Structure 1
Amino acid sequence: MMTTEAAKKRVAIMPLEKTFVLSDSAESEETVANVMSDQLVVAVQESGNYTVVERTQFDKAMQEQGFQNLYADPEYVAEMGKIFGGQYILVGKITMVKTRAADKSNFMKRITAKFDAAYRTSIAVELRMVDCQTSEVVLAKTVEADRGGKDANDSLYNACKEVAEHFMRDIQAQHPFTGRIIEVKGSEIYIDQGQSSGLHKGDVLLIAREDTPLEANGKIIGMTQINLGKARVTEVLADYAICRITEGGGSIQKGDIVKRGK
């Protein structure tokens, strides 16, 4: 029987290119890149579907060979990923970072600054996930975030965290999630998918029931589905998750299916 860990896909996260100009309040370029890389590692691991290749396996080699062409050449990227044992490789470049203190130039701004974050960081990162076996670009997009914090470091951390989580949500959306309801208790449902499925607290799931078989060439190839409602994930455990019904509910029962929705 395959273990959960073995079933996870291995991702090599490459050092990020730095093509931005720092604002006066920000940390060094290397610090910005490290914080962003660390948040990508956390987001990938917490997704439940991936595990990250240990960075010590390729940091030295990357320093010797350079990585200026990684973002532009998917085939080269895929070969690098294979060398480092990744099924996927994640590359990117930080194109903009701006950290600024709260504006206290006049009385009203000093008043509102008491209720706002002391610092804010805006960041833009171009990210690309490549399948190492096919050289296919699974997802490529620019993710931007603007987050506040109690100081410059805190706002940078929050902005990088938002970018990483946003990108991983989009990756997860490429691979539809499905599960089944194993228990219904009032407005709560229990489903047969847990942490390894990539579910997170707050995810919205659509609830449906399989209805009429679909046939083609004498074979059943699928089932029509009746939409029953929606639920929001409230708790994710090792082997199952708990959700609260937010729409519908009257006819939802054990055996109905759930899938990722909006």
Structure 2
Amino acid sequence: MIKKIILAGISALTLSACAVPDKVAKPVEAPVSQAQQEEAQKQAFATPEVTRLKRKVAIARFSNETRYGKTFLRDGENDPLGKQATDMLSSRLVESGKFLVFERPDIEKIKKEQEYTQASNLIGVDTLIVGSVTEFGRKTVGKSGFLSSTKKQVARAKVEIRLVDSKTGHIFFSANGAGEASNEANSVAGFGNRSEYDATLNDKAIAAAVSSVMNEIVRKLDERPWRTDILKREGSTVFISGGQSQGLSIGDTLDIMKAGDTIRSAQSGFDIELPAQKIGSLKILSFFGTDETNEGSVTQITSGTMENSSVSEYFIAEGAN
């Protein structure tokens, strides 16, 4: 009788060991999930109550500096990893509501941006964003026991992003971000979850890397003073570039600034612009244009005077409303 009880107990233990675990493994992102990063960014973007005018930025296509995804069948233009990073960064900037984002997929660094401003129908921008995926890799780790095993897939990415003044070519800010994503599966005695190759981990790791550096980029871009050009002046009526897409409203007051002289520094070799001088104010009366690439504003001078000189000597800056 005792022998039968012992055999029954052993059988029960064996069956329980072969049972599929109730808990289903879920993908895990480390160290901070993409959802948490995106929520933190939304809160950071929504915090300021002061209305700021949108800056114009352009994203050059990211380069893939890693060996991942590069084969002799792909040329420099067929770079899915770099294009992924570009698209994700562009989406984050647009979602922030602080910028007008344009793309320069075939730009040849800063000189091309200067050519666009002077001799092309592509809109000029204040800042050019360039970057690269500097690290990317995947690994699979696991543990095996007498009857159970665990398999974990991990993807990790690192991006480097630089902000460049499109007028001078000077890199005024650089930052890097890293992200990681993982997926874990468990099995007992051959039963349970199978951990197949998860291609979405690549996307999640890159997204986490871009998200980790977004707050720094937005803050630095937002620190740059907003300014726009004068298109034409007819007496006290002044036509300026920019309109509703940049956050301007009818009745807004802007400052008329006279640019300072530009002097080349013998020490650094850079052209240094002396401080601009406020010479008056103007008020927005109406808008014209069809979209963000050709919109403008009709304004009226409310204080100060503009000398009978070229409008290129002046620019418009954000004023107190």
Q: TM-score with structure 2 length normalisation?
A: 0.40
Higher CA-based Rg: 2
